[in-house]
Chain A
Amino acid sequence: MTAPSLTVAVDGTTVEVPAGATVLDAARAAGRWVPTLCFDARQAPFGACRACLVGVEGAAAPLPACTTPCRDGMVVDTKDPAGRRVATAVVELVLSELPQPPAPHTELAQVAQRLGVGEPRWPGETHAPQPADTRHPYLAFQHELCISCGRCVRACDELQGTFALTATGRGFHANVAAGLDEGFRASACVSCGACADTCPTDAITEVSLLP
């Protein structure tokens, strides 16, 4: 028996997706770009960043593409004006919490550039700069660059099964920590590097021993 498939129109392109697919899956199948920060295709959708809001015909307000299941006959507009306004505002807010602009190679910088995010409309307190945590030989934390997307925590949980990382704090002070906030080395970390690989900023980076 073949799995039932759904027909979804994304920006005028019709795609067939399997039952259980999300709107983001459909958009990507149609070759359309939807901005995301907390999404990693290797992990279960998280729905935190809200940059992926798209228009769905019949819906009163834009919906998050990563956590909205497709329905048969759905009509999706990835450039819905309200959704794009919110996505741009969200990325602008994220940039405003960092003490320095993200490095150009990071996913955050690339999403911001593609959305054309300009000067922050709501400047304010940033995460306090602190020395990089380099107690581990291969993995470094720069907590002030963390945007609480949860990708590192989920990588450690869902991909590696090690549970060495956690979200910490609440509200604006949310961040991540290894073990009892004692750095990677003293935690259950097995040095797989999945967290650094998925980090969309440079909050967790691999320390290269090679020149």
Chain B
Amino acid sequence: MSRNLVELVRRHHAQAAPSALDVLKDAVEQRGEVTDEDRREAARRSGLPEAAVFGVSTFYDDLLTPRGARHVRVCTGTACFAATGDAHVEQLRTATGLELGERAGDGSVSLAETVCLGFCHSAPAVRVTSDEADVVDAGPDVVARVLADTCVAAEEPAWESTLPEPVLTRPGDWSGLRRVREEGISPEALLEAVTAAEIRGRGGAGFPAGVKWGFARAAAGEQKFIVANGDEGDPGSYIDKYLMERNPALLLEGMALAGYAVGAAHGFVLVRSEYPRSKPALEAAAEAARADGWLGERFDVTIVEGAGSYVVGEETALLACLEGLRGTVSARPPFPAQEGLYGRPTVVNNVETLCNVPFVAARGAEPYHALSPDSETAGSKLVCFNERFVRPGVYEVPFGVSMGRLCEELAGGLRDGRAIKGVQVGGPLGGILPAARLETAFDFDALAAEGCMLGHGGILAFDDATSMRDVARHLLRFGAHESCGKCFPCRIGLRRAHAMFAGEEPVSRERLEQLLETLELGSLCAHGGGMPAPIRSLLRWWPDELGLAA
């Protein structure tokens, strides 16, 4: 990211100017599209050059799709695909006569795709927005209700803990920060406890939070920031969504503790625009925390909503989005801990990662290590299941339990007598585990050994009726659509990989594997680097279904 633009944004932000992205989002909300006059207005108010504003306006999904009086957003996430094979998308296209991204000539209705609404427990999901309401409806008959204009809000999923002493599903009560204040625990001692607890990042990479905090604390500079990554874009995952919406105080407490340990007085949460309930829930919790004296002068937070881009979940792209710039990835170094938001040292932690901190602050590192007796990994983990399961929902589990137990005992196996063909764990950049390998432990290393990853903890089953060539096509279409366009292997390579599966042509395994290697070794971030993982799983376990050339 341009250091000049970031400094320009920092100075305007310090003067309370809105970001260019905020102004453009407002324009879409009010008028259904972005015009050049809106772009000039955004440049005037944000202080960003007009060209940079134009670049922003052509990047985010929410700014690119024109809106009619009724804006219908159909979820094309992987759970919805696993539920219908995308039949729900076809039905909406046919019935409305609109292509995805198109608005009717009379402006009455518009159709767009969105990935993903986080209602994977009740797929397929559709969001309908009008002046009167903004509703996410979901379930087998959702298309009929959308067409009849009788949408109802989808039911929330189950939210349970299997632990005798929950960490993440326990309602946040500020007991960690209370103890720090009452006992006068120093920032150094808190950092030491978090480091000793070995909290690993829950957003995908599994990096130790204490080490990251240590870098930011040691970085030079008075002004530092805490950023909670609430851009849980992984299709099939709705864990951070429920933390932000059902347990927002826990996240805010984790951020306040991080700020205390690192020496930061302000934090930001970037929530996805696909989760319209998250920002209001966090803002209400922040207001209550200010009234109770937990937030305020010493540490306060701002909640910012994104605008539709999967790659913004990558930390450098996330910071660019917070600055109101194009959400593209930047090469590291510099790492955010050295040079992050507005060029200042910044801790970027996933939402769930931060939600582990209050327990450690209240109880210490040792009880945290004891939560997962069958694993080397400390703490607990939230997992979630897609609609194919009998009991989909969000569950808090210890590490080290077998995938089979989670799928069969906790989630009850698949509905309608279906059998599991494979489960994709941890989002679109994770491998796919076949039913025959479900004895694998749910843990960082055990899943990595199977070419899979723990990731966010989403567990998404494909049933025995699923065509694995369709899975490859679905995943690569998503990958190509969401490529930020910065690095060449991802920008062009994912497009080509999708094209190999898009038609009915046989696929050359040799050329596909050469392309996968280019993506894996060449890509700038985990998006291009990770998209080959599920394709490698498909090649390993279901080569006969992929239509490979003889």
Contact = CB atoms under 8 A, between A and B. Distances in A.
Interface of A: 37, 44-51, 53, 61-62, 64, 67, 69, 82-83, 85-86, 89-90, 93-94, 96-97, 121-122, 124-125, 147-148, 150, 154, 157-158, 161, 163-174, 177-181, 187-188
A105 B515 CA distance: 28
Contact of A178 (B51, B326, B482, B514): B51
A178 to B, nearest CB: 6
Contacts of B494: 171
23 contacts: A47-B331, A47-B487, A51-B488, A67-B332, A86-B489, A93-B489, A93-B492, A121-B514, A122-B496, A124-B499, A148-B486, A164-B49, A170-B58, A170-B309, A171-B480, A171-B482, A171-B485, A172-B483, A177-B55, A179-B50, A180-B36, A188-B49, A188-B50
Chain B interface helix/strand/loop/mixed: helix
Sorting the interface of chain B by its residue count into under 10, 10 to 19, 20 to 34 or 35 or more gives: 35 or more
Interface string B40-79: 1000000001111111001100000000000000000000
B59 A90 contact: no
Interface stretch (B84-92, B341-349, B520-528): B520-528
B58 A179 contact: no
B333 interface: yes
B49 A45 contact: no
Contacts of A169: 58-59, 485
Contacts of A154: 2
Interface string B308-340: 010000000000000000101011110000000
Given A48-B488, A49-B487, A50-B488, A93 B51 contact: no
B331 A46 contact: yes
Contact of B51 (A47, A51, A122, A179): A179
Contacts of A51: 488
Nearest to A46: B331
A181 to B, nearest CB: 6
B2 A157 contact: yes
Contact of B39 (A48, A53, A164, A180): A180
Contacts of B50: 179-180, 187-188
Interface centre among A47, A166, A177 (most CB of B within 10 A): A166
Given A46-B331, A50-B524, A163 B49 contact: yes
B518 A93 contact: yes
Interface centre among B331, B488, B496 (most CB of A within 10 A): B488
B326 A167 contact: yes
B4 A161 contact: yes
B143 interface: no
Given A154-B2, A167-B55, A50 B481 contact: no
Given A93-B518, A124-B496, A166 B51 contact: yes
Nearest to A89: B518
A180 to B, nearest CB: 5
B217 interface: no
Contacts of A82: 517, 521
Contacts of A67: 331-333
Contact of A90 (B326, B485, B522): B522
A171 B331 contact: no
B4 A172 contact: no
Nearest to A173: B485
Interface string B474-518: 000000111111111101111110011000000000010011011
Contacts of A45: 331
Given A166-B51, A180-B40, A181-B54, A44 B487 contact: no
A189 B493 CA distance: 33
A160 to B, nearest CB: 11
Given A50-B524, A171-B485, A173-B485, A187 B51 contact: yes
Contacts of B523: 50
Contacts of B154: none
B499 A125 contact: yes
A44 B51 CA distance: 20
Given A89-B514, A154-B2, A188-B49, A170 B484 contact: yes
B211 interface: no
B61 to A, nearest CB: 9
Contacts of A167: 55, 326, 328, 485
Contact of A171 (B40, B333, B483, B518): B483
Contacts of B36: 180
Nearest to B483: A171
A184 B426 CA distance: 45
Interface centre among A53, A163, A171 (most CB of B within 10 A): A171
Nearest to A45: B331
A158 B51 contact: no
B51 A188 contact: yes
